[in-house]
Amino acid sequence: MHELPIIERILNITLKHARDHRVTRIAAIKMQIGQLSDLEEEWIQHYFQYLSRGTLAEGARIEIEWRPIVMECSNCRVSFEADKKNMAGCHCPHCGGKDSRLLSGREYRIKEMEAE
């Protein structure tokens, strides 16, 4: 459900940059999103199409670069990537430790856009 307020933000930020750069159409929006977010790519595209109607971003393609979940081992401090689909198997590849904490994987970043 929280796709809507997030996509509204994406739209407002890109439209602001579009006005600043005096572009006439936004063709694509490139984003970096952490795998820990529960956003679904299909729904982002769907809601975006709905919200962007009648704006410079209408019809724009959303491209998502999914950023990995990075954990830090609480034992040896080595950082490693975790697989969201297999959090049960999450452990330190260096020392085998099973206690860790989240370093990154929560990104919500608009990187750039293609516009004309």
Partner 1 sequence: MGEIKLIEIKEEILSDNNQAGQELRDQMKSEKTFLLNLMSSPGAGKTSLILNTIKTLKNRLRIGVLEADIDSTIDAEKIALVGIPAVQIRTGGFCHLDAHMVKKGLEALSLKDLDLVIIENVGNLVCPAEFDTGAVKNVMILSVPEGEDKPLKYPLMFSICDVLIVNKIDYLGLSDFNMAALYENVRKLNSQMTILELSCKTGEGLNSWANWLDSQVHHFLEE
Measured at the alpha carbon of residue 19, what is the angle toward residues 50 and 53, in degrees to the nearest 5?
A: 15
Site string for partner 1, 36-55 (x = CB under 8 A): xxx-----------------
Site for partner 1 contains 110 (CB under 8 A)? yes
Site for partner 1 contains 22 (CB under 8 A)? no
SS3 call for 54 = coil
Q: Are 92 and 76 in contact (CB under 8 A)?
A: yes
DSSP-assigned letter for residue 22: T
Enumerate binding residues for partner 1 (CB under 8 A). 1-2, 5-6, 9-10, 13-14, 17-18, 21, 23-25, 27, 36-38, 69, 71, 74, 84, 87-88, 90-91, 98-102, 106-116
